[in-house]
Amino acid sequence: MRESYSIAQSPVRKEQKHKISPASMIAGLCALLLFAALFATTSTKPYMPPKVAQKYMEYWLIDSARHVAGEVRLKHVREIEPFYLRRDYQPIWMDSYELTEAGESLVQVLRETSADHWRDYGYSLQAVMREIQQISNLPKQATAVDVLLTDAFITYAQQALNQELLPDMGEADHPSYKKVAAFSGDEKKVDSEQVVNLLRESVNEDRLVDLINRLTPNHKGYRQLREQFKHYQKIADSGEWYGLPADFRLKAGERHRLVPHIRWMLTQYKDLKPGAFAWLFKEDKLLMRAPLEHEQYDLQQPSFYFDKALVEGLKNFQQRFSIEITGEVDEKTLNALNIPPYHMAQKIALNMKRWSHLPSELGDRHIMVNMADFRLQYMEGGNTELDMKVITGRPLRRTPVLAQTVSTIVLSPTWSVPRRIAIGDILPQIKRDPSYLDRKGFSLVANVKGIDQYVSAKDINWRKMSARYFPYRLVQKAGTGNALGDVKFVLPNDKSIYLHDTNHPELFAKEMRALSSGCVRVEQPRLLAEKLIAGQQGWNRSHIESAITQSRTTHIRLQKPVPVYLMYWTTWVNDDGQLQIRDDVYQRDLIGGIARQQTVSL
């Protein structure tokens, strides 16, 4: 009976339990609507009505063009105002109160371009960044940002299109040579009106991002440096970096108050993986903060111990800087560790510009020389087929940045001595010892009525010869004593710059190899020649060796000329994704207008 009673009564109880009054239903509905409204408010992007945008655009372009954002005088207001007028004064870089993808891309390009302080770029970037941070749904700030970005874009585009952002140009030791850049064309400069037309066309076709990308190099190496630039800027902005004392030294197994800071440095620079020293601590959070000198600390704590993991991290750091790998904090390593991240970001930014010297397509086969690293790579099909040492011009005769093609290889070459070398290096030795010519295999050639004639050194009054008066050419015969060695790779240019062998191979053992008069001496010229003529009928390694052995000067015309790029990168990212840094041997890193040598002076 109890069971049946329970079953019979249960529907009644359920009905009473779920009965809801009309007042409760209305209250619940109101709460739901209120929640929906709040959610819509927080999730909906703030919107700037076109009329509001027009009002403030007109204000900045007509009423306050001399004081945009309170301080900036627009450089291109005459071109910008009609541009916006045709658009009913609507923004192009802002989507209401947020930067568009094109806006973000432009800000990034302006930051990385101007970061090195190589020159006054004129982007008013400080004002732009300040206004971006202060937008906060204020139409006055948002429209000011749009106008400032358009003004900065016109300036930047003119600089890029007119090849004004190319470093390492116009040097006195090599004042003229062929320039190759991403944008080539007439000598006539691109003006601001042409840039605005290009901008209008890109906006109308919704290709603004593409336009910005076309103005910057598209190479993988450039994009890799961009990521490193962002990374080092982030380290600098963290405010946690500081340098080590000038007399600081440290070896494996030692303890020091600053070991945690070195651990932090190497972790930030990606030379040390956090997991490498996780065993030191019970907590997951690793101790990387060094105590201040006046704070109490226990040096017996494991965080102050310079252990094997830190030694390996330091070795990787030394390898990236091409410093002797000791695993110790010695003088050179300390100098490298003490480079402020902001200066490293500047150095990276300048090296990013150097990619603009190159065409967008390097070629399936090409030779890349990095003068700062003293190395040559022969690339084929995206792979490094050869990697060898080179010797480049000494600091007073720097090898120029050059992009050309090798179309001819000369075996057992003679050497027609460039005049700068003849009067600067060889003439003083001849005047001291006239027999120098015969001992070194030089011949004297005079031009008589347009005809070259050999002249005996004995018939010349060498006392009268000088840098101003030396009416002869010097030609060195082929053979073992020839300065060009056994192989010469001809590069068309007006400064007698080319790749060649050397009769002093012992110099490749040196670390600093800026030793030549401007040409690039190659460590393995025969192997390089073999690669370049591979598949060419009638030539192989044995034919090369035969011509050289007989000292028979032979010209080989390549059926497929190979591009050669003589570049100067003091920072780049290698195949393992690691940032590499080298000394500025040519003093070309004009950061803030001053050349910096990172492992010596900083």
* Residue-range domain boundaries for the chain: 50-174+198-213, 242-339, 364-410+486-569, 415-476
For the domain spanning 364-410+486-569, the CATH number is 2.40.440.10
Tell me the pLDDT band of 286, cut-offs 50, 70 and 90.
low
Q: How far apart are the first and last CA of the chain?
A: 97
pLDDT at 187: 64
Burial of 47 (0-12, 13-18, 19+ CB in 10 A): exposed
Chain-centroid distance of CA 412 in Å reads 38
How far is Cα 599 from Cα 585, in angstroms, rounded to an integer? Answer: 11
Best CA proximity match to 483, nearest among 452, 512, 442, 524:
442
- Residues 239-275 have pLDDT tens digits of 999 999 999 999 999 999 999 999 999 999 999 976 6
Rounded Cα distance, 597 and 590, in Å: 10
pLDDT at 102: 97
**Given this model, what pLDDT does residue 35 score?**
59
Q: Residue 22: what pLDDT?
A: 62
| Contact in structure between 598 and 583 (CB atoms under 8 Å) | yes
Output the pLDDT for position 447: 87
- Helix (H) or strand (E) segment spanning residue 85: helix 77-85
Of 520, 524, 530, residue with least CA distance to 499:
520
- Of the given ranges (175-189, 199-213, 485-499, 543-557), which has the lowest mean pLDDT? 175-189
**Structural contact between residues 60 and 150, judged by C-beta atoms closer than 8 angstroms:** no
User: Looking at residue 536, what is its pLDDT?
Assistant: 87
Per the document, the length of the chain is: 602
- Which pLDDT score, from 0 to 100, does residue 33 have? 62
User: Residue 181: its pLDDT value, please?
Assistant: 42
d(CA 103, CA 56): 19
pTM: 0.85
CA-to-CA separations, 122 to 79, 152, 155, 162, 350, in angstroms, rounded = 17, 7, 7, 15, 17
Report whether 267 contacts 288 (CB < 8 A). Answer: yes
**What pLDDT, on a 0 to 100 scale, did the predictor assign at position 6?**
38
Q: Is the pLDDT of residue 41 over 50?
A: no
Angle (deg, nearest 10), helices 101-114 and 220-238 = 80
Q: What is the mean pLDDT of the chain?
A: 87
**Can you tell me which residue has the tokens 């060094």?**
290
Distance CA 4, CA 8 (A): 6
**Structure confidence at residue 19 (pLDDT):** 54
CB 70 within 8 A of CB 140: no
Which stretch of 184-198, 221-235, 280-294, 322-336 has the lowest confidence by average pLDDT? 280-294
| Residue 28 pLDDT | 64
Average pLDDT in the 36-58 region? 73
Q: What is the mean pLDDT of residues 96-115?
A: 95
Q: How confident is the model at residue 67 (pLDDT cuts 50, 70, 90)?
A: confident
Judge contact between 501 and 521, C-beta under 8 A: yes
Which pLDDT score is estimated for 593? 63
* CATH code given to domain 242-339: 1.10.101.10
Instruction: Note the pLDDT of residue 439.
Output: 92
Quote the Cα angle for 501-325-521, to 5°: 10
For residue 400, CA distances in Å to 119, 374, 389, 485 come to: 21, 14, 18, 22
Give the gyration radius of the chain's Cα atoms.
Answer: 34
Are 594 and 246 spatial neighbours (Cβ–Cβ below 8 Å)?
Answer: no
Helical residues (DSSP H) of 115-250, grouped into ranges: 125-133, 139-161, 192-204, 208-214, 220-238
- Mean pLDDT over 140-145 rounds to 91
Select from 166, 168, 157, 94 the least CA-distant residue to 131.
94
Give the model's pLDDT for residue 547: 87
